[in-house]
């Protein structure tokens, strides 16, 4: 399988990494794949690179051209998560405070 990945994510991928793959045509099944190649080239128009994933196809249920999605385990950005309903906009200032172990706006 050849997959396309955003350039902001591609540096976090490792050859040999095991990933989960779902195929739209077979929604009840989960496939396991291994990253075997990561392209050093990024498309300047889409800002995406390619990776090749090796997937066992016992039973020959996977076919060329099927659409699939890979679940990549990448490091998320660290930051503060505030529920949208906890934000009151009073132009141009937004104020947040912590009360009773929850973030609130004063």
Q: What is the pLDDT of residue 25?
A: 92
- Write out the E strands in the chain: 2-6, 18-23, 26-42, 48-55, 68-71, 97-99, 102-104
Domain 2-71 is in which class? Answer: mainly beta
Integer Cα distance of 68 and 37 in angstroms: 17
What are the pLDDT digits (tens) for 1-42? 898 998 888 888 999 999 999 999 998 989 999 999 999 999
Q: What ranges do the domains of the chain cover? A: 2-71
What are the pLDDT digits (tens) for 72-90? 887 766 666 777 767 666 6
């Amino acid at each position: 399988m050849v997959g396309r990945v955003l350039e902001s994510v591609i540096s976090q991928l490792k050859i040999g990494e095991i990933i989960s793959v779902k195929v739209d045509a077979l929604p009840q099944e989960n496939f396991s794949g291994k990253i075997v190649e990561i392209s050093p080239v990024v498309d300047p128009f889409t800002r995406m690179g390619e990776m090749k994933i090796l997937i066992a196809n016992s039973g020959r249920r996977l076919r060329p051209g099927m659409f699939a999605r890979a679940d990549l385990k990448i490091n998320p950005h660290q930051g503060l998560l505030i529920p949208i309903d906890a934000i009151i906009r009073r132009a141009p200032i937004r104020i947040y405070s912590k009360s009773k172990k929850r973030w609130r706006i004063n």
